[in-house]
Amino acid sequence: MSSVTMDESPNSEEIMSGNVAFAKGAIHAGVGFCTSYPGTPSTEITETLLQYRNETGMIVEWSVNEKVALESAAGASWMGIPSLCVMKSLGLNVAADFLLNLNLSGVGEGGLVIIVCDDPKGHSSSNEQDSRFYAKAAQIPLFEPSTPQQAKDVVAHALELSQIFRVPVLIRSTTRLSHSGALVSSSPFSSHLWVPSQNLPSGLYNVPNPEKQHRELMEKLELIQDKFDNHIMNSPPKEWKDILFVATGVCQKYVEEAMKYIEEDVSFFGIVTTYPVPHKLIHECLKHSKRIFFFEENDAFVEDQFRIVASLENSPCILDGKHSGLVPFSGEMNVDLVLEALRDFMTPKKEAEYEAVPVLDSRSLLIPRPLTFCAGCTHRNVYYALQRVRKRLKGKLVVTGDIGCYSLGVFYHNSMETMQSMGSGIGTANGIARLADFALDSKVVSLAGDSTFFHACIPALINARHKNVDLTFLILDNSTTAMTGFQSHPGAAEQDESDRIVEIEDIVRSIGPDSFIRIGATDVVDLTDVMHATIKQPGLKVMLIDSICRLERKRKQQPQEGSIRIETSLCQGESCRLCVSEYGCPAITWSSDSETAEILDHLCVQCGSCIAICPQRAIQEE
Amino acid sequence: MQNPFNILIAGVGGQGNVTSGKILATAAQREGLRPVIGETFGASRRGGTVYTHVRIGDTDLGPLIPVGRLHVLLGLEPMETLRASLEFAGRNTIVIMSSVSIPPIGVHARTDEYPPVESIISSLEKMCARVHTVDSDSILRPINAIRSLNILLIGIMAGLGISPLGIESLRLAMLDILGPSDKNLQAFELGLSDNTG
Ligand code: SF4
Ligand code: SF4
């Protein structure tokens, strides 16, 4: 085995995020195949693997969606290649249909690890689901590392387990692990040679007796419990005290720190192998403790497993956590929440220097800082146009939306009215539009971005065609996955040399809408008129709107010098304010000196879109 | 040194918040200490509030600073400094803040009103041990380095000698993370010598 040095200094420590650590762990573990769909907070894992792919030789891809990613990874695993599949929490919902079959069929000799990154508090997500329930639903083993170092180490353990038992193995991260940086040991990578088998292993289906497969999976889980009993990644207490704190994931670190701030001596158990928590281990904890407190993010996942064994054993040990109301089920955990949960049971150390001094009246000084479309973002133009159309239709318009940068439309005069899962905009619009049979009089519009179109919109669009509903589908195509940092997708402008582009237009035309219009998004007046005419027409209409992501542009070229200005003599001032109040480009502000609009040159990208919205022609190009 | 020593960087997306965290952590590593960085991006690219937690100690810690245990608050924007302070500051917190405000979109649209910077400063003074305010534009504009605000504040912190991170470690960390950049070096030096606040 030859040695390829990519980490800067061999056998030293380097600051890396949990996500980079996962990626390096995968390289060290010998993963040869990685598939993924971008989603915060998981994206950097795959980006890191892509960055190193020339050196490692690993096959790494952004797949069209998470289900295809998982299926593809399973295929490679069946042929003997160690495989990794990476996604965010909600992505696992998309892949779940396959996962709940793959668990029974089994993975191949290569093994298969899934890393799912949850987002408690939903910093960048539309829910804060606890994806650990998929480990339980699929009855597959689960690891929850607590630090970037553990993130690096865990991948090899998970892969080994998957190879031994031929089950997919899940690793759960959360935002605070994925996006935290800490020192992690770094060492040179070893190079691997992957040789696929030429044939599939036998029996990769669950029929005719899925229950037999299920039984076999349960038996494997029993054996895995034994392995987890003394697993090296768990930190069992060195000595037992009456009170035990059990923590998982980043909560391990919060609890360890909180323990420094209380007087009492307690024992601590940090569990990384959180499904299945071995019954033997639970039994030990119950036997040695009078009271156990559980700290985990989101659901009472480990707590529930303890409660089951406690009830089976009729244990007198008191169990405290989420079910006793001490630890919240929602939001993120932190040291303060741990201390708050312990308030009635433990004595805090007196440290006057660290007391917060509440100055409550200052809170009223704060104003919100809502997220907004970037200066010159063409999504703003689409929503501005939609709002105009809404007025022209006297409010008889419903707009269902989707997941991406353009989801900020919910904050833009509420012009996008729904936002659930990938592809659900066009799906829900189908149902609404069918109510025309019940004399629904409003026009139905749904919108989605380019990456989302490929990910999950196509079946619903086919359904709309098949059922012949009256609806307008807007595709906001900026040719990149902008939300997560410009990953490629089948229709993206930038492609790998070996990739072939798939045109959205070709797909849409082949479905056969009653009308198809391709239009640019910079001319707001034109966009409004065409949108209005299109929405009014009956039938299935698709507008492919060529859009521009300014961040993407900025990445590639320097902005020019400022050339958009307000002719103050023409600006109507207070009586108008249309450009700042309704259009709302962040590069337009209000000057209290001249009482007119004013362009902030350092933010303006000279897109020129605002010129047409000013009724007085006060916004001008120089 | 207080162990752990906690620094929070508060600002708005695009102000170099994440980079600052990396510089502080790299400097800590150069000092032989163990840094942990906690950050939330996602919102960072689209003009939202961004906090970066930097914790420096001799053992690995969780990524979030507990309430009241904040030693230095680097405020890239006044209102975000106040927001962070209300969440994390204690009576020992030292604030180093730029007085140049970035109004949220609601201020342009006039649905919200930006609070007077003097009120922000006086609130901070009531909450924290010390507030060092700097009119960063007047310092950085002459050297055409408005975007080096984060470095200016790190320089001020280094000059005040209030963190376990030495001037040389910070200088080298800057070089590691940003590469050689005259503007950043100048901003750092100007920070070191700033004692106006
Ligand atoms: S839209 Fe034109 S007239 Fe109205 S406030 Fe803006 S610049 Fe002035
Ligand atoms: S030209 Fe107008 S719309 Fe475009 S970025 Fe500048 S101010 Fe905003």
Q: What is the mean pLDDT of residues A533-556?
A: 88
* A446 confidence band (pLDDT: 50, 70, 90): very high
3-state secondary structure of A208: coil
Ligand 2 midpoint to CA B40 (Å): 28
Average of per-residue pLDDT values in chain A = 93
- Report pLDDT for A592: 83
Q: Is the peptide bond before A196 cis (omega within 30 degrees of 0)?
A: no
- Report pLDDT for A2: 35
Q: What is the mean pLDDT of residues A306-329?
A: 98
Ligand 2 midpoint to CA A577 (Å): 15
Of A354, A368, A408, the CB nearest to B69: A354
A370 or B114, higher pLDDT: B114
- Report pLDDT for B41: 61
CA–CA distances in Å: residue A353 to residues B5, B87, B125: 13, 16, 16
Gap between the Cα atoms of B38 and B62, Å rounded: 8
Q: Which residues line ligand 1 (CB under 6 A)?
A: A 566, 571-572, 576-579, 596-597, 614, 616, 618-619
Q: What is the mean pLDDT of residues A437-451?
A: 97
Fold of A243-350: Rossmann fold (3.40.50)
Q: What is the mean pLDDT of residues A351-362?
A: 76
Name the residue among A173, A158, A307 with its Cα closest to residue A248: A173
- Strand ranges across the sheet with B34-39: A12-17, A180-186, B34-39, B49-57, B5-12, B72-75, B94-98, B130-134
Which listed ligand is nearest to B110 at the C-alpha? 1
Residues in A closer than 8 angstroms to B128, CB to CB, are: 357
Query: CATH number for the domain including B88?
Result: 3.40.920.10
CA B153, chain centre distance (Å)? 6
- Cβ distance of B67 and A356 shorter than 8 Å: yes
Q: What is the mean pLDDT of residues A127-140?
A: 98
| 3-state helix, strand and coil shares in percent for chain B, rounded to the nearest 5 | 45, 20, 35
Residue A392: exposure state from Cβ atoms within 10 A (0-12, 13-18, ≥19) = middle
Ligand 2 midpoint to CA A377 (Å): 9
* B42 confidence band (pLDDT: 50, 70, 90): low
Amino acid residing at A159: L
Gap between the Cα atoms of B70 and B36, Å rounded: 14
CATH 3.40.50.970 fits A378-555, yes or no: yes
For the beta carbon of residue A442, count every other beta carbon within 10 angstroms.
15
Number of independent structural domains in chain B: 1
- Asked if A243-350 and A564-621 have one fold, the answer is no
- CA contacts within 13 A on the Cβ side of A42: 27
- Tell me the domain boundaries of chain A: 3-197+206-229, 243-350, 378-555, 564-621
Q: Which residues line ligand 2 (CB under 6 A)?
A: A 375-376, 564, 585, 587-588, 599, 604-610
Pairing of strands A112-118, A169-174: parallel
A494 or A349, higher pLDDT: A349
* B45 confidence band (pLDDT: 50, 70, 90): low
What would the two tokens of residue A362 be? 């200052």
B125 and chain A: CB distance < 8 Å anywhere? no
Domain of residue B76 covers 5-193
Asked if B79 and A356 count as a contact pair (C-beta separation under 8 A), the reply is no
Nearest CA in chain B to A595: B108
Q: Is the peptide bond before B4 cis (omega within 30 degrees of 0)?
A: yes
- Report pLDDT for B44: 55
Q: Which residue has the tokens 């010098």?
A: A561
Residues in B closer than 8 angstroms to A366, CB to CB, are: 79, 82-83, 86, 115
Q: Report angle CA A179, B154, B16 to the nearest 5 degrees.
A: 45
Nearest CA in chain A to B38: A180
Please check the confidence at residue A139 and state whether its pLDDT lies above 80: yes
What would the two tokens of residue A209 be? 């007796």
Summarised one tens digit per residue, pLDDT across range A499-519 is 999 999 999 999 999 999 999
Percent of all residues in chain B with a pLDDT value above 90, rounded to a whole number: 82
Of B88, B105, B119, the CB nearest to A584: B105
- B13/chain A closest Cα distance in angstroms: 10
Name the residue among A105, A94, A75, A166 with its Cα closest to residue A134: A94
Ligand 2 midpoint to CA A599 (Å): 8
Nearest CA in chain A to B92: A353
- Report pLDDT for A4: 43
Of B40, B66, B110, the CB nearest to A334: B66
- B85/chain A closest Cα distance in angstroms: 9
Summarised one tens digit per residue, pLDDT across range A331-342 is 999 999 999 999
Please check the confidence at residue A1 and state whether its pLDDT lies above 50: no
Amino acid residing at B92: N
Beta bridge partners of A113: A84, A169
Name the residue among A85, A108, A103 with its Cα closest to residue A37: A85
- Report pLDDT for B181: 86
Ligand 2 midpoint to CA A370 (Å): 19
A403 or A552, higher pLDDT: A403
Closest residue by CA, ligand 2 atom 2: A610
* A206 confidence band (pLDDT: 50, 70, 90): very high
Please check the confidence at residue A3 and state whether its pLDDT lies above 80: no
Of B64, B92, B112, the CB nearest to A368: B112
- Cβ distance of A123 and B43 shorter than 8 Å: yes
* A558 confidence band (pLDDT: 50, 70, 90): low
Ligand 1 midpoint to CA A610 (Å): 10
Q: What is the mean pLDDT of residues A344-355?
A: 87
Residues in B closer than 8 angstroms to A359, CB to CB, are: 86, 123, 126-127
Q: Specify the range with the lowest mean pLDDT, choosing from A59-63, A71-75, A189-193.
A: A189-193
Please check the confidence at residue B158 and state whether its pLDDT lies above 70: yes
Q: Which one of 3.30.70.20, 1.10.286.10, 2.60.410.10, 3.40.190.10 gives the CATH number of domain A564-621?
A: 3.30.70.20
Kindly report the pTM of this predicted structure.
Answer: 0.95
Residues in A closer than 8 angstroms to B48, CB to CB, are: 369-371
Beta bridge partners of A13: A185
CA–CA distances in Å: residue A158 to residues A182, A200, B139: 22, 23, 53
CA–CA distances in Å: residue A206 to residues A182, A538, B54: 43, 47, 50
- Report pLDDT for A603: 84
- Cβ distance of B109 and A584 shorter than 8 Å: yes
- Report pLDDT for A89: 98
Gap between the Cα atoms of A527 and A389, Å rounded: 10
Residues in B closer than 8 angstroms to A260, CB to CB, are: none
Q: What backbone phi and psi angles, to 5 degrees, belong to A209?
A: -125, 70
Please check the confidence at residue B48 and state whether its pLDDT lies above 90: no
Summarised one tens digit per residue, pLDDT across range A582-615 is 999 999 999 888 899 999 888 898 999 999 999 9
Gap between the Cα atoms of A219 and A554, Å rounded: 55
Please check the confidence at residue A7 and state whether its pLDDT lies above 70: no
Residues in A closer than 8 angstroms to B123, CB to CB, are: 359, 361-362, 365
Q: For A453-598, where are the alpha helices, taking DSSP H only?
A: 458-466, 504-511, 524-536, 550-556, 578
- CA contacts within 13 A on the Cβ side of A118: 25
Gap between the Cα atoms of A449 and A452, Å rounded: 5
Q: What is the mean pLDDT of residues B168-186?
A: 94
CATH number of A3-197+206-229: 3.40.50.970
- Cβ distance of B21 and A357 shorter than 8 Å: no
